[in-house]
C-alpha cells in the first residue's frame, strides 16, 4: 500500500528492522510549481499528518532479571495486578519481548513515513517494565489518536493464529472505558482485517470462537486507557508453525505493515 514511499532493506536476522526512509533527491518534477497569479502552490499532506500514535511493545527482555520490580502490584482500576510479566518465548528461546520491540520499531518507521507522530512506551532502553499502569498513562498523556499494544501468545502446541483484544466497557474503581470501548472496537476491526490480509495468518483457533476477537476487563493497559486502544496477539510462540513465522524478519515486516494498515484505515475512516 505504501511501498511507493519507501525503499526497504531488511534481513531475517534478529531485530533487523527497516532503515529510515531516505529523502528523495531534488529534481524539477519534485519541486513545487511556481505560483500563478499570486496563488500558492499546493503541497499535499501525508495521510497521517497531525495524528499521534502510541505503540506499546509488550514486556521487556530484561524483566526476567528484575522479578521483584515486575511482581509488585499496581492498581489497574478494577483491582491490583503485577506490574508486568516476562512474556512468552518460543521453544528455541526467542523472547516475546524481542519480537514485540522489533515489530514496534518497524511499524514506527512506516507510520512516520506517513506523517504520524509516533511514541513507543519503551524502546529497549529501560532496565525493566514499564508497568502496565504507566504504559496506559503514556498513551493518555500523549492524547493518542490510537494505541496498539503488540504481543505474541504463549498457548499450547497446535493452538495457532492471531487475535485482537478489545477493552470491555466498564466503570469500576479507577477504570472507566465506556467512552473508548466503541472507538477501540473500530480500531480493532481495522487492525484485524489488515493484519489478516498482510500476513496471510488465520485468526485464532483457540480463542474468540473464530471471530479473531476477545473482550477483557483484566488488563491494566486497557482498563486505564482514556484513548482508543487494543492489544494484538500476533501468533502463538509455543506452536512450531507460528513460531517459524514470528522468528522470521520478513514475516515481522508484514506484521508491522498489517498493524500500520489497520491504524491508517481507522484514523482515515
CATH number at residue 80: 3.40.630.40
In a domain, 9, yes or no: no
* Residuewise pLDDT in 10s, the chain (269 residues): 434 333 333 334 444 444 444 444 434 344 444 444 555 666 668 999 999 999 999 999 999 999 999 999 999 999 999 999 999 999 999 999 999 999 999 999 999 999 999 999 999 999 999 999 999 999 999 999 999 999 999 999 999 999 999 999 999 988 999 999 999 999 999 999 999 999 999 999 999 999 999 999 999 999 999 999 999 999 999 999 999 999 999 999 999 999 999 999 999 98
Any idea what the Cα angle at residue 29 is, between residues 27 and 32, rounded to 5°? 100
- Rounded-to-10 torsion of CA 175, 231, 57, 121: -30
44: which DSSP letter?
P
* Neighbouring C-beta atoms of residue 215, cutoff 10 Å: 17
Residue at 246 is within a domain: yes
Give the residue numbers spanning the domain of 227.
44-267
Q: How many folded domains does the chain comprise?
A: 1
Question: Which secondary structure element, helix H or strand E, spans residue 132, and what is its range?
Answer: helix 132-141
1 in a structural domain = no
Amino acid at each position: 500500500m505504501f511501498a511507493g514511499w519507501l525503499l526497504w532493506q531488511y534481513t531475517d536476522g534478529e531485530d533487523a528492522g527497516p532503515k529510515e526512509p531516505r529523502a528523495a533527491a531534488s529534481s524539477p518534477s519534485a519541486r513545487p510549481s511556481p505560483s500563478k497569479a499570486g496563488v500558492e502552490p499546493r503541497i499535499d499532506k501525508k495521510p497521517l499528518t497531525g495524528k499521534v500514535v502510541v505503540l506499546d511493545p509488550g514486556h521487556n527482555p530484561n524483566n526476567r532479571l528484575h522479578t521483584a520490580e515486575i511482581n509488585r502490584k499496581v492498581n489497574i482500576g478494577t483491582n491490583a495486578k503485577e506490574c508486568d510479566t516476562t512474556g512468552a518465548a518460543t521453544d528455541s528461546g526467542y523472547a516475546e519481548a524481542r519480537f514485540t520491540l522489533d515489530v514496534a520499531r518497524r511499524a514506527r518507521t512506516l507510520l512516520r513515513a506517513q506523517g504520524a507522530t509516533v511514541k513507543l512506551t519503551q524502546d529497549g532502553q529501560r532496565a525493566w517494565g514499564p508497568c502496565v499502569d504507566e504504559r496506559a498513562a503514556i498513551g493518555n498523556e500523549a492524547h493518542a489518536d490510537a494505541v496498539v499494544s503488540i504481543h505474541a501468545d504463549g498457548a499450547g502446541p497446535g493452538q495457532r493464529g492471531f487475535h485482537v483484544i478489545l477493552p470491555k466497557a466498564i466503570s469500576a474503581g479507577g477504570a472507566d472505558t465506556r467512552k473508548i470501548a466503541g472507538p477501540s472496537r473500530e480500531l480493532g476491526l481495522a487492525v484485524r482485517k489488515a493484519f489478516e490480509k498482510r500476513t496471510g495468518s488465520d485468526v485464532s483457533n483457540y480463542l474468540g470462537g473464530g471471530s479473531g476477537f476477545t473482550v477483557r476487563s483484566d488488563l491494566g493497559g486497557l482498563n486505564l486507557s482514556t484513548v482508543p486502544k487494543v492489544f494484538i496477539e500476533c501468533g502463538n510462540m509455543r506452536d512450531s508453525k507460528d513460531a517459524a513465522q514470528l522468528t522470521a524478519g520478513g514475516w515481522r515486516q508484514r506484521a508491522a505493515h498489517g498493524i500500520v494498515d489497520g491504524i491508517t484505515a481507522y484514523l482515515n475512516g
